[in-house]
Amino acid sequence: MAKVVKVMVIDDSALIRQMLSNIINAEPDMEVVATAGDPYIARDKIKKFNPDVLTLDVEMPRMDGLAFLRNVMRLRPMPVIMISALTQKGADTTLQALEYGALDFVCKPQLDISQTFETYGEEIVSKLRMAAQTQVKPLIKPKPSSAMTYTGMPVPPKYSADAIISNTPARKVKFLKTTDKIIAIGASTGGTEAIKLLLENMPAHAPGIVISQHIPATFSTSFAKRMNQLSPMTVYEAEDGKAILPGHVYIAPGNFHLLVERDGARYVCRLNEGTPVNRHRPSVDVLFRSVAQNVGPNSVGVILTGMGDDGAKGMREMHEVGAFTIAQDEHTSVVWGMPGEAVKKGGVDKIMPLHEIPRHLMKLFDHQSTTPH
């Protein structure tokens, strides 16, 4: 019999604790072994019930969620999923929580919680399953068709990138000669910290970078601002029609696909509010396909840590048109889902530890003035 994942729910709202418990206990492979209304109660119950995974509210009484998380990661490292309100303050705090070692987060609605929270059930249980399988290490500082769930809630149909951008065979794609280069990056679970490490180590003169990170709308604005403070490059939340320039980074806004298009002699960002692809918007497959078809061998694709397979097909398409492609290795990935699937599909030229990727990217462009191979 498979091991049952023991979950502990920490939230100051009794209603949220009850709803989370109902969602989790409906799964045959999960059980809520304890709940706590504040970190002091949680501290004692962690010792008593020895949970496999915690869900942790961002804003807590008596001790804030960040302080508690830091203590957990210092004294008893374990998988933590943050439960965050969709507010600016909640977004900023949650990004800090990911730096301190939380694996991922789920956004909770501010209005009509009892009516809408159950629609988050599929996301919650999938992230808890992922977390339970993840080895968490002590952190001194931030690390360099439709189906039904067990709860009976419908899972949205899984659409491919064809829903947004048609797939043109590689042999039919024609590229203009240009000295402009573009780096396309895709990530999901664990990606905010991976992107942070990468951008901190990219020089100000690096080629233009476009990023699709699975992230809600409120969080993408805070994330872009934070990366701009930390990176030698200039980081924006992408805007429709904005020119992609060297030394600049463009992060897909939450709830919009980011595509790269050719506009005369330059590349520009295009935003698309169409169908979620691989159940994500933004989708990495959409970004990578647009880069494959418009930038081709003048691009490099990088796929970082993430759950699922979004980006694997798009990376293979980039590889087929002559782009150089890199996957983060399993050892440095929080979850080796997306990079692993890209490797399986045969679209990866090089598998690398995260901390080596920035230097290798610049080596590619410094050594090759036309095609980055």
The one catalytic residue among 310, 319, 329, 333:
310
Q: Is 188 a catalytic residue?
A: yes
Amino acid at position 235, single letter = V
- Per residue, the 3-state secondary structure of 275-317, as one string, reads CCECCECCCHHHHHHHHHHHCHHHEEEEECCECCCCCHHHHHH
Asked if residues 114 and 89 have their Cβ atoms less than 8 Å apart, the reply is: no
Our answer to whether residue 310 is catalytic in this structure is: yes
222 is catalytic: no
Q: Tell me: cis bond preceding 232? Omega within 30 of 0 counts.
A: no
Residue among 52, 57, 214, 299 flagged as catalytic: 214
Q: For tokens 């959409």, name the residue.
A: 286
How far is the C-alpha of 336 from the C-alpha of 322, rounded, in Å? 24
Give, in order, the Cα–Cα distances in Å from 45 to each of 9, 34, 40, 165, 202: 11, 7, 9, 50, 43
Which value, in Å, is the radius of gyration of the alpha carbons in the chain? Answer: 21
Q: Are 271 and 244 in contact (CB under 8 A)?
A: no
Alpha-carbon gap, residue 39 to 35, rounded angstroms:
11
The active-site residue out of 188, 212, 220, 283 is 188
As a three-state string, the secondary structure of 156-214 is CCCCCHHHCCCCCCHHHCCCCCCCCCEEEEEECCCHHHHHHHHHHCCCCCCCEEEEEEC
Spatial distance between the Cα atoms of 244 and 258, rounded to a whole number of angstroms: 12
- Which amino acids are annotated catalytic? 188, 214, 310
